[in-house]
Amino acid sequence: MAMIETVNLTRHYGDVVALDDLNLTIEQGSCFGFLGPNGAGKTTTIRILATLLKPTWGEARVAGYTIGWQNPQVRPLIGYVPDVIGRYDDMLVSEYLEFFAACYGIHGSARVKALTDVLDLTDLGGAVSRPVAGLSRGMTQRLSIARVLLHDPQVLLLDEPASGLDPRARVDIRSLLSELHKMGKTILISSHVLHELSTLCDSIGIVEQGRLVFAGTLDEALAKGGPGREVEIVLKERSEEGGKLLAQVHGVSRVRLRTRDDAPMLVVTLSPDQPVETSELVSRLVTAGFHVEQVRAVEADLETVFLNLTSGAVA
């Protein structure tokens, strides 16, 4: 069953086309990673699904209910965590959750149970008496997730939930989202932390300039956007010149210059049909007078897929 659907979803901001005929389907119980360069239309899509924006034309549906026409039916089904979290700094954590439980119409023993459940799930039980203003960024993010879980929504819409978090806090958020996925929640999550999406999500969508360039499982993404394999080559000097040389070699489909630890590195993508051997690449470089310091063959990953399927253009 499709839990989230968009049909020719389009959104204009004046002359800017933020979404351009976006057609997307997310199945019930799926954890869907939403990828794209900055300005690609991810946040606009999520805000429309959260009933905060109206499309210029096209439709978006949650559990079969149409955004705009049936917002009262949609809102109880969703929990929206924005990229910038609104909070009331003069409240304690317990007061903050009590306030939103009341907003959701949860009262009496049902409210007590809801608060206990979300505090246990988000591991915030020890922070109930702390002021919201004193929470770390990671704990604030968990509090925001706890807030949207109070009414037990079927769908979670998360816009960059790991933004600005330290590594430990990112692990905690990933574990929490994994647990929510196991509980059967349908999750749409946008993020730039591609490695974490690859371990969390069962399917992904990639948008660029408001258009969907790919949607499917991770295996399908790797097959489409990460063909063949890659070779990382570090040269002592003249990296850009070496990249131009390798780009002309038959069996090389792409050469990118990347910086790692402040040092330039060539990332050579080999053709899936007739890939050239790594030894041949090294031989070409040495013969041309380049000093090769390091060579490493790597398998395609989600970052490779993203770079191969997008150009970095924005709407």
- The answer to whether residues 173 and 207 belong to one domain is yes
Q: Tell me the C-alpha distance between 312 and 306, whole Å.
A: 10
Total of domains in the chain: 2
Regarding whether 59 and 155 lie in a shared domain, the answer is: yes
User: What is d(CA 305, CA 216) in angstroms, rounded to the nearest whole number?
Assistant: 12
Q: Calculate mean pLDDT across residues 132-149.
A: 93
Closest to 11 measured CA to CA, from 27, 22, 1? 22
Question: In this structure, is residue 110 part of a structural domain?
Answer: no
> Is residue 210 a part of any domain in this protein?
yes
Predicted confidence band of residue 313 (pLDDT cuts 50, 70, 90): low
**Residue 133 CA: distances (Å) to CA of 2, 83, 130, 172:** 39, 18, 8, 20
**Residue 146 and residue 285 in one domain:** no
* 97: confidence class by pLDDT, cuts 50, 70, 90: very high
pLDDT band at 241 (very low <50, low <70, confident <90, very high): very high
Boundary residue ending a domain (164, 194, 224):
224
Last residue of a domain, one of 224, 247, 268: 224
Whether the predicted pLDDT of 41 surpasses 70: yes
Whole-angstrom distance, CA of residue 92 vs CA of residue 116: 15
Looking at the fold, whether 220 and 165 belong to one and the same domain comes out as yes
Boundary of a domain, candidates 224, 251, 285? 224
In a domain, 23, yes or no: yes
Task: Say if 40 falls within a structural domain.
Answer: yes
**Which tokens go with 220?**
């399908």
CA–CA–CA angle 218, 171, 177 (5° rounding): 60
> Do 254 and 210 fall into the same domain?
no
Residue 74 lies in a domain: yes
- 69-73, 74-78, 158-162, 229-233: which has the minimum mean pLDDT? 229-233
pLDDT of 304 higher than 90: no
273 and 210 fall within a common domain: no
The enclosing domain of 47 has a CATH number of 3.40.50.300
210 and 248 part of one domain: no
Handedness of CA 158, 159, 162, 164 (dihedral sign): negative
Looking at the domain assignment, is residue 188 inside a domain?
yes
The domain in which residue 250 lies consists of: 227-299
Residues 30 and 170 in one domain: yes
The whole-number average pLDDT for the span 217-245 is: 84
Whether residues 274 and 150 share a domain: the answer is: no
pLDDT of residue 98: 95
